[in-house]
Amino acid sequence: MGLFAVVFSGFGLALLAPWIVPRTGRATGWILGLLPAAITGYLATLVGPVAAGETLQVGVSWVPGLNVDMAFYVDGLSLFFALLIAGIGTLIFVYAGGYLKGHHHLGRFFSYLSMFMAAMIGLVLADNLFTFYIFFELTSFASFVLIGFNHDEAPSRRAAWQALLVTKAGGLALLVGFLLMEQVTGTLQISALLTMGDALRDSAYYVPILLLVLAGAFTKSAQFPFYFWLPNAMEAPTPVSAYLHSATMVKAGIYVLARFHPVLSGTTLWVVLVGGIGAATMLLSAWLALQYTDMKSILAYTTIMALGLLTMLLGVGTEAAVTACLVFVLVHAFYKAALFMVAGAVDHELHVRDITKLRGLKSKMPITAAAAGIAALSMAGIPPLFGFVGKELIYAAALHFGPAVAAVTVVSVLANVALVASAGLLAVRPFWGSLNEVTKKAHRPAAGLWFGPAVLAVFSLGLGLAPWVLDAAVLGPSVGAVLGASVSPHLALWHGLNLELGLSALTLAGGVATYFGWNAMYTSAPGRAFERWLGTGLDNGYDHVVNGLMAFGAWQTRLLQNGRLRNYLSTILVTFLVLVASAAVHTGALQWSPSVAGIAVQEWILGGLVVGGAAATIFFRSRLAMVISLGVSGFSIALLYLAYSAPDLAMTQFLIETLTVILFVLVLATMPLVREQLSPGTAVRDGAIAIGVGGTVTALVLAVLHVPFSNPMGEYYSQNSYVEAEGQNIVNTILVDFRALDTLGEITVLLIAGMGIYAMLGLGRALTPEELGGAATDAPAEPDAVASASSEPAEEVS
């Protein structure tokens, strides 16, 4: 039960947050942070048992027929990530309370944030492929609403759409990959599936499975060439960026790679694809980071660099590499969350994030500056910080990777050189030196704003001095889970004078040189070109794809939805005619033996009225007469229902006819008075279609009557209506009990149709402020294309 609470309490808080937040005043962040803190505490109690080799499993059957369960389990890897998510989450909650203090949508914000955390925890604990997929998509959804939190700003909306489209596309690929995995292994249970690596690798579907799963992981964790969405995602409020970059969302992609590492790795394709793409992403983004002056942009690109590095290490896949990977996940989470919170604190105080404008903030925000300094030292990999331990491990893994020592080592060093320079840009430039015009106005930030970075700084320092505390408790089980083997890694701050240390020194020297040469490099032509191609260039590429899609949509909408009712009806009816008539003729099903015996006089009269009313409609000139004539037909049908003892149908028909008259009058009043003159050819064509369809339906009904009639369903309902559904009206028990799911679907469609009507008719008039408040969503990139497609003039109904 504990695990269910761990996963679903966040969703519970998401429901309650809008109610709690206004009641907590200034302490909101601290109070709501109790939930992630409690989750962290609970998960921490599992560290011992898991390190001793236990795994926890809980689950309830969800769709038993398809083996879909809501199942969770805890092993070393999932516990590692869950602890990180809940732990960083606690700090983010506190920070968000301070950062967004007094925001009018704070309740909504915490609602989304809890959902984000819960989705992420559910993802890492999932034990069923479908559970996994659902939480994977929930993280995309939660990040969508969070990135678009400032929904009245166009860049936020665009960034939110971009993140959603890119990660959802990957999510769909992942789903197909999962389905193929299930086909091969016959199980949806992840813990069982993880033991079937050989079956997967030997199967004919291995390559498609790998490509699909990688598509999901690479889009989610912003690998080349999909990384463009991540820098845009910083449109989100800073607490979200800090969380999204350090512990959630992008780490979901890394988690996918790590989770399925035991069954998908071990082939050349894995090493080339995962290692290659990771290395490319790492190198490109590390240097792209130096092409920006916005603190959050620099941080975003260094996140991509970190993700590329993690991906590359998982691609390498040796024990040293996986150990380095998981250590670096922690290193990165600690310094990245801290630096984002620092950037947010600076932004919060000054509303400036441009490093060329910030100077000397050290004296104004000492704790923030100290936390930033420690985080940046860790980022740069300087002893005795945790980052140094991580970097030594990375270099060790690179130097011991037989197939491509030189490539991996050179790429790692080059990327880390840029990372050192970025660390300098983020923590030295804005905080050292003397105050300038901009920074003079800074205030000391509230406790909530420096609490998180300070705690994380303590972690970066503490784990750097005593990294071995992680060995058996955390790293052993998690690295073992990734490798599918039992390992006992050992971390240390000091490894003696070796090649790794030399590379670290080289990196530091290169980084410092780059930092001092930054001004020249940033403004140089090759630097700008580099950014134009791989930074904004990829982003623009996304726009081209989306615009192309919209243009295609507009084109096919104009073709198919051309606004002429006559064309719609003709298309539908001719399709029906061709398909049904050809099928009927082909199968020879059209047989009948018409007999008029047994038709009562009143039935003749009603039938005559139905046909007569419909036929007369064609010949009337006045629209009102047409409406009345159609009404005669409709009411006669209702009477026919009554004659055949179907009172519910008759009643419904009567009511619909009545309403139709009202609606017709409303619609006809808007019609132009001059009617369109039909050419004789059109009239003949339409007449032929109408007669053809009417004839086909008549023939079908007669053919149905020709077949001996047996109605087991009808008998079932009449026998069980009262026994099973406690009702004597069979029609009603079918609607609300036997087939209630159908009805539920239908009323949902009604609701959607209602929203459509509201949107279409509401567009024509000015909305009241109240209505605007409720409908402040926007179309994706090109609202104009959609609007122009749907606002084609409608043809008259006649």
Partner 1 sequence: MRNSLILRTAARLLVPLILLFSVFLMLRGHNESGGGFIGGLVAGTAFALYAMAYGTAASRRALRTTPQALLAAGLATALLSAVIPLFQGGAMLQGLWAKPLGVKVGTPILFDVGVYLIVIGITLMIVYELDESGVQFFPQEPHPASLPAEAEESA
Please tell me the distance from the alpha carbon of residue 346 to that of residue 724, in angstroms, as a whole number.
66
Of 405, 406, 655, 697, the residue at the interface with partner 1 (CB under 8 A) is: 655
Tokens describing residue 631 = 């009404």
Q: Please pick, from the candidates 186, 647, 695, 714, the single residue that binds partner 1 as defined by CB under 8 A.
A: 647
Nearer to partner 1, 432 or 654 (CB): 654
Burial of 527 (0-12, 13-18, 19+ CB in 10 A): middle
d(CA 128, CA 67): 9
Cβ distance to partner 1 smaller for residue 19 or 758: 758
The answer to whether the beta carbons of residues 264 and 209 sit under 8 Å apart is yes
- Interface residue with partner 1 among 486, 523, 561, 748 (CB under 8 A) is 748
Q: What are phi and psi of 71, to 5 degrees?
A: -125, 145
- Residue span binding partner 1 (CB under 8 A) among the ranges 189-197, 300-308, 589-597, 657-665: 657-665
Q: Kindly give, in sequence order, each residue whose CB lies less than 8 Å from that of residue 164, ignoring residues fewer than 6 positions away.
A: 140, 141, 143, 144
Lay out the site mask for partner 1 across 665-704 (x = CB under 8 A, - = otherwise). xxx-xx----------------------------------
Which range touches partner 1 (CB under 8 A), out of 150-158, 251-259, 535-543, 722-730? Answer: 722-730
Binding residue for partner 1, selected from 725, 781, 785, 789, defined by CB under 8 A = 725
- Size of residue set near partner 1 by CB under 8 A: 46
Residues 257-316 that bind partner 1 (CB under 8 A): none
793 binds partner 1 (CB under 8 A): no
Of residues 60, 596, 597, 662, which one binds partner 1 by CB under 8 A?
662
651 binds partner 1 per the rule CB under 8 A: yes
Does 652 help bind partner 1 (rule: CB under 8 A)?
Answer: yes
Pick the binder of partner 1 from 658, 718, 719, 791 (CB under 8 A): 658
Which DSSP state fits 352? -
Of 469 and 753, nearer to partner 1 (C-beta) is: 753
Shortest distance, CB of residue 463 to partner 1, whole angstroms?
Answer: 45
Q: What share of the chain is helix, strand, coil (3-state, %, to 5)?
A: 75, 5, 20
Asked if residue 190 lies in contact with residue 126, where contact means CB atoms within 8 angstroms, the answer is yes
Query: How distant, in Å, are the alpha carbons of 403, 618, 697, 699 from that of 577?
Result: 65, 21, 9, 12
Distance from C-alpha of 637 to C-alpha of 657, rounded to nearest angstrom: 10
- Sole binder of partner 1 in the list 203, 720, 729, 790 (CB under 8 A): 729
Separation CA 651–CA 640 (nearest Å): 11
Nearer to partner 1, 618 or 759 (CB): 759
Nearest to partner 1 of 60, 597 (CB atom) = 60
Q: Which stretch binds partner 1 (CB under 8 A): 376-384, 446-454, 457-465, 655-663?
A: 655-663
Q: How far is the CB of 650 from partner 1 (least distance, A)?
A: 9
Query: Does the N-terminal peptide bond of residue 384 adopt cis geometry, omega within 30 degrees of 0?
Result: yes
513 scored as a contact of partner 1 (CB under 8 A): no
The distance of closest approach from Cβ of residue 749 to partner 1 in the complex, given in angstroms and rounded to an integer, is: 10
501 vs 735 by CB, closer to partner 1: 735
Q: Which is nearer to partner 1, 622 or 711 (CB)?
A: 622
Nearer to partner 1, 667 or 690 (CB): 667
**Which residues, at least 6 apart from 203, have a Cβ–Cβ distance to it below 8 Å?**
184, 209
Hey, what are 403's tokens?
Answer: 């197939």
Q: Select 202 or 770, whichever has its Cβ closest to partner 1.
A: 770
Dihedral sign for Cα 701, 705, 710, 714, please. Answer: positive
If the CB atoms of residues 643 and 651 are measured against partner 1, the closer one turns out to be: 651
CB of 635 to partner 1, least distance (A): 15
For partner 1, the binding residue among 2, 553, 631, 727 (CB under 8 A) is 727
- The two tokens of residue 243 are 């969380």
Residue 658's contacts (CB-CB under 8 Å, 6 or more residues apart) are: none
596: exposed, middle or buried (Cβ count in 10 Å: 0-12, 13-18, 19+): exposed
Under the binding rule (CB under 8 A), the answer on residue 656 touching partner 1 is yes
Tell me which of 663, 691, 701, 713 binds partner 1, using CB under 8 A.
663
Integer Cα distance of 228 and 781 in angstroms: 16
Q: Does 728 bind partner 1 (CB under 8 A)?
A: yes
Contacts (CB under 8 A) with partner 1, residues 133-192:
none
| Rounded distance between C-alpha atoms, residue 307 and residue 329, angstroms | 9
**CA angle, 577 as apex, 696 and 646 as ends, to 5°?**
50
DSSP character for 599? -
Residue 737 is a binding residue for partner 1 (CB under 8 A): yes
CA distances (Å), 571 to each of 560, 584, 678, in order? 9, 20, 18
Among 486-494, 523-531, 571-579, 651-659, the segment contacting partner 1 (CB under 8 A): 651-659
* Binding range to partner 1, per CB under 8 A, among 99-107, 402-410, 539-547, 724-732: 724-732
CA 62 to chain centre: 22
How do strand 56-63 and strand 68-74 relate by DSSP bridges? Answer: antiparallel
Q: What is the DSSP string of 692-710?
A: HHHHHHHHHHHHHHHSPP-
DSSP string for 478-535: HHHHHHTS-------S---S-HHHHHHHHHHHHHHHHHHTHHHHHHSHHHHHHHHHHT
| Interface segment toward partner 1; rule CB under 8 A; list 204-212, 417-425, 451-459, 721-729 | 721-729
CB of 564 to partner 1, least distance (A): 20
User: Considering only residues 754-773, where is the footprint of partner 1 by CB under 8 A?
Assistant: 754-755, 757-758, 761-762, 764-765
Positive or negative torsion for Cα 733, 734, 736, 737: positive
3-state secondary structure of 404: helix
- Shortest CB 758 distance to partner 1, Å: 6
Give the helix ranges, DSSP H, for 54-105.
76-99
Cβ proximity to partner 1: between 47 and 649 the closer is 649
The stretch among 113-121, 265-273, 291-299, 659-667 that binds partner 1 (CB under 8 A) is: 659-667
For residue 618, state whether it binds partner 1 (rule: CB under 8 A): no
Q: In this chain, which of 67, 203, 570, 743 binds partner 1, going by CB under 8 A?
A: 743
Nearer to partner 1, 560 or 656 (CB): 656
Using CB under 8 A, pick the residue from 643, 683, 684, 753 that binds partner 1: 753
Q: By CB under 8 A, tell whether 648 contacts partner 1.
A: yes
Q: Is 751 in the site for partner 1 (CB under 8 A)?
A: yes
Residue from 545, 624, 643, 683 in contact with partner 1 (CB under 8 A): 624
> Where along the sequence are the contacts to partner 1 (CB under 8 A)?
624, 647-648, 651-652, 655-656, 658-659, 662-663, 665-667, 669-670, 724-729, 731-733, 735-737, 740-741, 743-744, 747-748, 750-751, 753-755, 757-758, 761-762, 764-765, 774
